[in-house]
Amino acid sequence: MTINRKYACGALLGLAFVPAPALAADDSAEQGPNPKNWAMQAGNAQNHRYSSLKQINTTNVKNLRVSWMFSTGVLRGHEGGPLVIGDTLYVHSPFPNKVFAIRLADQSIIWKYEPKQDPSVIPVMCCDTVNRGLAYADGKIYLQQADTTLVALDAKTGKVLWSVKNGDPKKGETNTNAPHIFKNKVITGISGGEFGVRGYVTAYDKDTGRQLWRAYSTGPDQEMLLDPQKTMTWTDGKMAPVGKDSSLSTWQGDQWKIGGGTTWGWYSYDPKLNLIYYGSGNPSTWNPAQRPGDNRWSMTIFARDVDTGQAKWVYQMTPHDEWDFDGVNEMILADGVNVKGKPRNVVVHFDRNGFGYTLDRATGELLVAEKYDPTVNWATHVDMKSGRPQVVAKYSTQANGADVDTKGVCPAALGSKDQQPAAYNPANKLFYVPTNHVCMNYEPFKVEYTAGQPYVGATLSMFPAPGSHGGMGNFIVWDAGSGKIVKSKAEKFSVWSGALVTAGGIACYGTLEGYVKCVDANDISKELFKFKTPSGIIGNVNTWEYNGKQYIGVLSGIGGWAGIGLAAGLEKDTDGLGAVGGYKELSKYTELGGVLTVFSLP
- The catalytic site residues sit at 324
Q: Which of residues 172-211 bind other proteins (CB under 8 A)?
A: 194
Q: Which residues contact 350 (CB under 8 A, 6 or more apart)?
A: 329, 330, 356, 357, 372, 416, 417, 422, 431, 433, 435, 478
CA atoms within 13 A on the CB side of 493: 31
- For other proteins, what does the binding mask look like between residues 449 and 488, x meaning CB under 8 A? -xxxxx-xx-x-x---------------------------
Q: Would you say 154 or 326 has its CB closer to other proteins? A: 326
Q: Determine the Cα–Cα distance for residues 483 and 499; give it in Å rounded to an integer.
A: 19
What SS3 string covers 569-596?
Answer: CCCCCCCHHHCCCHHHHHCCCCCCCCEE
Applying CB under 8 A, among 228, 343, 470, 576 the residue interacting with other proteins is 576
Q: How far apart are CA 395 and CA 389, in angstroms?
A: 13
Question: Which of 99, 570, 595, 598 is the binder for other proteins (CB under 8 A)?
Answer: 570
CB 189 to other proteins: min, Å:
21
Q: Shortest approach of other proteins to residue 498 CB, angstroms?
A: 22
H-type alpha helices, 189-313: 221-224
Query: Please, which residue, 236 or 448, has the CB nearer to other proteins?
Result: 448
| Neighbour count for residue 273 (Cβ, 10 Å) | 16
Query: By CB under 8 A, which span of 229-237, 262-270, 390-398, 571-579 interacts with other proteins?
Result: 571-579
Taking CA atoms, 344 is separated from 503, 505, 549, in Å, by 23, 24, 36
The residue (of 51 and 129) whose beta carbon lies closer to other proteins is 129
- Cβ 132 to other proteins shortest distance, Å: 18
Stretch that binds other proteins, among 134-142, 207-215, 442-450, 487-495 (CB under 8 A): 442-450
Nearest Cα to Cα of residue 259 among 235, 283, 279, 238: 283
Q: How far apart are CA 30 and CA 32, in angstroms?
A: 6
Nearer to other proteins (CB atom), residue 42 or residue 462: 462
Shortest Å distance, C-beta 568 to other proteins: 6
Tell which residue, 412, 414, 418, 458, has the closest CA to residue 439.
412
Give every CB contact of residue 222 below 8 A, 6+ residues apart in sequence: none
CA torsion, ordered 394, 398, 400, 401, to nearest 10 deg: 170
CB of 368 to other proteins, least distance (A): 35
Site string for other proteins, 365-404 (x = CB under 8 A): ----------------------------------------
Q: Which is nearer to other proteins, 261 or 452 (CB)?
A: 452
Nearer CB in complex with other proteins: 191/231:
191
Give the shortest CB-583-to-other proteins separation in angstroms: 8
Q: In angstroms, rounded to a whole number, what is the distance separating the alpha carbons of residues 39 and 49?
A: 11
Nearer Cβ to other proteins (158/259): 259
CB of 242 to other proteins, least distance (A): 33
Residues 6+ apart with CB under 8 A from 432: 422, 423, 424, 425, 475, 476, 477, 478, 499, 501, 507, 509, 521, 524
Least Å distance between CB 148 and other proteins?
A: 17
Task: Give the shortest CB-102-to-other proteins separation in angstroms.
Answer: 29
Cα Rg, the chain, nearest whole Å: 22
Burial class (CB in 10 A: 0-12, 13-18, 19+), 162: middle
What is the C-alpha to C-alpha distance for residues 378 and 391, in angstroms, rounded to an integer? 6
Binding string, 92-131, against other proteins, x = CB under 8 A?
A: --------------------------xxx-xxx-xxx---
Residue 447 in the binding site for other proteins (CB under 8 A) = yes
Paired residues of 464 in beta bridges? 438
- Say whether residue 574 binds other proteins (CB under 8 A): yes
**Minimum CB separation from other proteins for residue 447, in Å?**
5
Stretch that binds other proteins, among 218-226, 273-281, 350-358, 573-581 (CB under 8 A): 573-581
- At its nearest, how many Å lie between other proteins and the CB of residue 374? 28
- Which helix (DSSP H) or strand (DSSP E) does residue 165 occupy? strand 160-165
572 contributes a contact to other proteins by CB under 8 A: yes
DSSP 179: P
N-term to C-term CA, the chain: 38
Residues 534-563 that bind other proteins (CB under 8 A): 563
Contacts of 129 (CB under 8 A, 6+ apart): 76, 77, 94, 95, 122, 146
Enumerate long-range contacts of 382-391, CB under 8 Å, 24 or more apart. 382/355, 384/237, 385/236, 385/237, 386/236, 387/234, 387/235, 387/315, 387/316, 388/319, 389/317, 389/318, 389/319, 389/353, 389/355, 391/322
Question: How many whole angstroms separate alpha carbon 365 and alpha carbon 226?
Answer: 18
Does residue 42 interact with other proteins by CB under 8 A?
Answer: no
Binding footprint of other proteins, residue count (CB under 8 A): 34
Contact stretch for other proteins (CB under 8 A) within 81-89, 238-246, 534-542, 570-578: 570-578
Instruction: Please list, in sequence order, all residues whose beta carbon lies within 8 angstroms of the beta carbon of residue 550, skipping any fewer than 6 positions away.
Output: 53, 54, 55, 56, 543, 544, 600, 601
- When the beta carbons of 243 and 576 are compared against other proteins, the nearer one is 576
Contact residues for other proteins (CB under 8 A)? 118-120, 122-124, 126-128, 194, 405, 443, 445, 447-448, 450-454, 456-457, 459, 461, 563-564, 567-568, 570, 572-574, 576, 583
